[in-house]
Structure 1
Amino acid sequence: MLDRDGCRFHHLGLACRDLTKESAAWTGLGYRPEGPIFVDPVQKIRGCFLVGPGPRLELLTPEGEGSPIEGYLARGTKIYHQAFESDAFESDLAALTAQGGKVTAGPVPAVAFDGRRIAFVLLPTLNLIELIEAAP
């Protein structure tokens, strides 16, 4: 389903404690910022995107109490989700859930994507997929 036209890989999500330190480490590997740091009060995260010699990365740090990033950091997990942009958001979300996926967050508008909706789906294999609504 994710391999169809209109559904594209977008980024890997990484949990971190300090965006400045984490960005500097990735800069040393050839990555550079793609846009400014953003804060999303709905998701309780602060983040930025990096591009470079590999896939686009989204560095995320907790922003306030109850941030879902805290759990990943407590377990020592860095890379915790894969994101795909979809021009058929509703049907792709339905397809993921029909395959046994559970929506863990969303759909909600996301600051990082100019208010386009995102949803997180935990697959039966325990892979976390972020689905991003494509720009009109």
Structure 2
Amino acid sequence: MNLQPRPTFVVEGEAEILASYEVVREVVNGITIDSAAVTAVDGKKVIAKGMPMAKLASGKYVPYDPAGADGSENPTVLLKHTVDVTEGDHVVGGYEVAKVISERIPVAVDATLRGKMPQIVFA
């Protein structure tokens, strides 16, 4: 019998974004990301954990774009995990209510974003 601790998994590149587990509400049944509306970088459509996501008229979600005029300028959910949507749409988890670490959010956390996401506390 080996009682020495050993790592069962290693998470790299996905630092925890939650500052507190006290008040957290996740999106029921997840959100569907619209792959066609995500811009590719080096041939990949990867969206980082913590990205604010906005709902389009189609019901699908896209990354927050403060200059958008299609609904992408109004985020309501923070992405729970990094996701690659290169191959098509994905259903993923997200936070509707949470206290998060601002420095770990992949976009600038400014007064505009804070005002558009009143249920998210940026610490």
Q: TM-score range by the shorter chain?
A: under 0.3
> RCO (CA 8 Å, sep 6+): is it higher in 1 or 2?
2
Q: Which has the higher strand share?
A: 1
The structure richer in helix per residue is 1
Max radius of gyration: which structure?
2
TM-score, structure 1 length as denominator? 0.23
TM-score with structure 2 setting the length: 0.25
